[in-house]
Structure 1
Amino acid sequence: MAGCRRALLAAAWLVLWVQLAMATTTELPRVRGSWRGSLNLLESSVGTTTPPAETLGICASSVTVHGYKCQEFDVETQDGYILSVQRIPEGRATSVGSRQPVIIQHGVLVDGMTWVLNSPEQNLPMILADNGFDVWIANTRGTRFCRRHKSLDPSQPAFWDWSWDELVLYDLPAVFNFVYAQTGNKKIDYVGHSLGTLIALASLSEGRLVDQLRSVALLSPVAYLSYMTTALGVVAAKSPLAEIFKALKIAEFNPKGEPVSKFLKSLCAHPGVDCYDLLSALTGKNCCLNASTVDLFLKNEPQPTSTKNMMHLAQIVRDRRLAKYNYGNSGFNVMHYGEAAPPVYNLSNIPRDLPIFISYGGRDALSDTGDVQMLLDSLKLHDVSRLSVQFIKDYAHADFIMGVNAKDVVYSQVLSFFTKLLK
């Protein structure tokens, strides 16, 4: 019984970390002060897996209502997953001429909806559309609009047998191939946040996407997690996660499901854990979130992902290396990779002439400044004229995607970075 309690507690640490820290958006945000009542909000959301946008889709619920054209597409990956992609082909003021395509990729445990929670004047997709870009919003497998497969069903464990390695290998290439074909083989700009930066960096390190890519903008980048300052995240990553989840047979990691809620509740009963101010303790003190945006966020997020994906993210922290999924057994690793240890993603292989924009925050407890420096060190041979870096002292993880002043602080720099390349 004691061993079972320890296993559940260890799992609870993971739940808290990944649900509120690892990706942006399972966060229960701090709105210019402590965000109180977080646990009650989470508990009330258990079982509410069908938010208002579920039946309408992202276009109808959050884009066309503001006067923008928006199209929904299905994109099939090589391994059979069917992804939902939204296109905002132009701004509200119709213009003629060629428009530069840009793909926008969200983080883990959320979907593309998080990009359009703020008003059109404040969210990145619509700002880009109004400034002459052909905007494509990507959604990864397992999220609410991407729970389809040619032969598998989400109720089957096999549907969830993937980590972010498969996002690198299948999801990103499928979306890039589709957008590339739809836009007349134009080279594409890319914006990623959190996990969206990780899968782009890993892809580029293996020579993927290079022929179709014009530039990348990485917001709150995640590549290394050695300096992550959230103590709960570190504890979670060092827990015996593989054994725990294998024993519990949880393949889908659904933050709104009852098992996860129970894990979180058990954690919150642990002495010293403050479940009424989680965000500042785990992701840093976000400076600039709007209460109404946070409310809208809580109605739509978080989204499911695979347990295997969460375990892979934890491995980055525990192993202090950016590598492919570790199967925990040298024999299994040999079966998958031909070697006893998982291969490393070598970021120094990223083409040195690729234009890269990086923006990171001084209060980000996940994309810590020390880890960002490690990323920059791996790019030390990059063409200096092709690498732009922005440091925002007061920004934490969620500010980059939902901050009320992100338009002026971050998005204006992204827009300038992309626009200069058009000249």
Structure 2
Amino acid sequence: MTSKGFYIFNILLLISIATLLYAIRLPINTETKISWGYPKDSLFNFTELTNEYGYSSQEHTVVTEDGYILTMFRINKGRNCNGKTKLPPVILMHGLLQSSDSWLDAGPDAGLAYLIADECFDLWVGNCRGNYYSRRHVSLNPDTDHQYWQFSVDEIGYYDVPAMMDYVLDHTGADNLNYIGFSQGAGTFFIMCSERPGYCEKANVMIALAPAARQTNTGSILYRFIMESVYTIEGILKKTSVGEILPKGSFSQEFLAFFCQLNSMTGSICTTVQSLLDAYHPGSVSNETTRVLYGHFPAGTSVHNMARYGQSMMRNDFAKFDYGKVHNLELYGSEEPPKYNLSAVTVPVVTLYGRNDGLVDVKDVKWLLKKLPNVVEEMAVSDALWTHLDVTYSQYTRTLIFPKIYEHLQSNSYN
């Protein structure tokens, strides 16, 4: 087979797999999963999980300016909080293909949402458009309207993050808040600062955990291959009306949830796959957390958002999506997509990152920090093997990253 023929074959194979993963769903009921031995935490939603461990939580609905209906959760009382609630409120935002549940999957001894709530902070946990908690719109049907899925981090940063900030400030009556963003959750905050004047000033501090902005040096071969492949075939998928990718309840998610909880051997295989997707850090993510997290991950996003990441790996800057010269002229008024104005990120920024991160490379973090005008502290996690996914799932979160997070939340809070 010629190299061209081999390339076309692989593209068609990827299209078939993507379509299969999108179209085939396995609606396995909870009772069946329990009988098969699924860990109960993998079957619980956010409020059920928090209530199970003695935390009080509430569900809130946020509507963006462009009509997307988002879900936020508020933990207003930690199980181990014995004092007054600290102000201002804190927003905690997840990464790509995750949901608010990712901050709970490591359990109350390591899940960052539990740890923050235990220190009496008024914690609000967000969900961006397209995941299973925020898969609604005031007029578009995600199941039938392809237009719903025409979004990426560009829109999440422009609409979702400001909408959640406004909702929290309006609901609590606070004048400002503290923001913690992981990966995509950090990059979209920077987009907001660039595109929405005045919003950066609504935060006292922005704690960026492995922030995803430029991804030129992403080291994971598997992750890069997936993202660049989706970018390559996005146009074809659009013609077949495939706009959603890796949703909860899809074949891919249900298979992972089933396979990873079967026994210790399959759990080890799943841990190995995580290492191939990110980087190797033996023992950091416990077997129990691995069994739980695949009940909530992947949480779904748009094909266009995945393609956006694929394109970002081919660039050496942090810019809006490149649609080509003709469409760029129509949309942006220029042949090249505008670069995000990182000098507009005037909020004090604290950055924590891992030296073994396979998805957000240290070189790209360093590039980002040089562009930001108000970096008050940057910290490489002391464990040299700390990876990207360790931020949400490691059993060592309490000792390796939470003390620094707590330090800056505390110094920017009051009772």
Quick check: 138-147 or 250-259, which moved more? Answer: 250-259
Q: More displaced, 284-293 or 118-127?
A: 118-127
Query: Is the contact made by 2:41 and 2:292 (CA closer than 8 Å) also made in structure 1?
Result: no
Q: Please say if 1:68 is aligned against 2:63.
A: no
| 1:370 counterpart residue number | 363
Aligned AA (2:119)? N
Q: Deviations over 1:51-89 (max 9, x none)?
A: 788996411x21112112111111111111111110011
Secondary structure at the counterpart of residue 318 of structure 1: coil
2:35 match: none
Task: Give the Cα–Cα distance (whole angstroms) in 2 for the partners of residues 50 and 253 of structure 1.
Answer: 22
Specify the alignment match of 1:382 in structure 2: 374
Name the CA shift for 1:238/1:73 in 2 (closer, same or farther; >3 Å).
closer
Q: Deviations along 1:191-213, whole A, 9 cap, x unmatched? A: 11111111112222334521311
2:302 maps to amino acid: S
SS of the equivalent of 2:90 reads strand
Amino acid at match of 2:380: Q
Query: 2:405 is matched with which residue: 399, 404, 414?
Result: 414
The answer for the alignment partner of 1:332 in structure 2 is 327
Choose the corresponding residue for 1:144, options 132, 151, 175: 132
Structure 1 residues 212-223: aligned runs within 5 Å? 212-223=202-213
SS in 2 for 1:86: strand
Whole-angstrom distance in 2 between the partners of 1:408 and 1:157: 44
Partner residue in 1 for 2:10: 6
After superposing the two structures, state which structure 1 stretch, 240-249 or 301-310, moved more. 240-249
Out of 71-80 and 141-150, give the one that drifted further.
141-150
Report the counterpart of residue 280 of structure 1 in structure 2: 275
Q: Is 189-198 or 204-213 further displaced after alignment?
A: 204-213
One-letter amino acid of the counterpart of residue 180, structure 1: L
Contact 1:359 1:390 in 2 (8 A): yes
AA of the residue aligned to 2:205:
S
Hey, what's the Cα distance between the residues in 1 that align with 2:285 and 2:362? 21
The superposition leaves residues 387-416 of structure 1 with CA deviations (integer Å, 9 ceiling, x where unpaired) of 343333220011111111111110111001
Match of 2:107 among 95, 98, 119: 119
Mapped to 1, the partners of 2:107 and 2:370 lie a distance apart of 37
Q: Which of 285, 288, 292 is residue 289 of structure 1 equivalent to? A: 285
Give the corresponding residue for 1:300.
296
After alignment, is 3-12 or 369-378 more displaced? 3-12
| Seq. identity, % | 27
Report the equivalent of 1:47.
26
What root-mean-square deviation, in Å, do the aligned CA atoms of Structure 1 and Structure 2 show?
Answer: 2.9
Q: 1:325 to 1:106 in 2, by over 3 A?
A: same
CA distance 1:311–1:281, shift in 2 (3 Å) = same
Q: Kindly tell me: are residues 361 and 85 of structure 1, through their superposed partners in 2, closer, same or farther at Cα, counting changes over 3 Å?
A: same
| Contact persistence 1:54–1:144 (CA under 8 A) | no
Q: Which runs of 5+ in 1 are unaligned?
A: 16-41, 263-273
Aligned residue runs from structure 1 range 74-89, under 5 A: 74-89=61-76
Letter in 1 for 2:65: Q
Q: Please tell me whether residue 254 in structure 1 is matched to residue 232 in structure 2.
A: no
- The structure showing larger relative contact order (alpha-carbon pairs under 8 Å, at least 6 residues apart) is 1
Take 2:7 and 2:117, find their aligned partners in 1: how far apart are those partners?
A: 54
Is 1:130–2:134 an aligned residue pair? no
Evaluate the alpha carbon distance shift between residue 3 and residue 404 of structure 1 in structure 2; reply closer, same or farther with a 3 A threshold: closer
Indicate if the aligned counterparts of 2:177 and 2:204 stay in contact, CA closer than 8 A: yes
Residues 286/89 of structure 1: CA separation in 2 closer, same or farther (3 Å cut): same
Distance 1:259-1:119 versus aligned 2 partners, 3 A rule: closer
Question: How far apart are 1:275 and its partner, in Å?
Answer: 9.1
Kept in 1, the 8 Å contact 2:354–2:381? The answer is yes
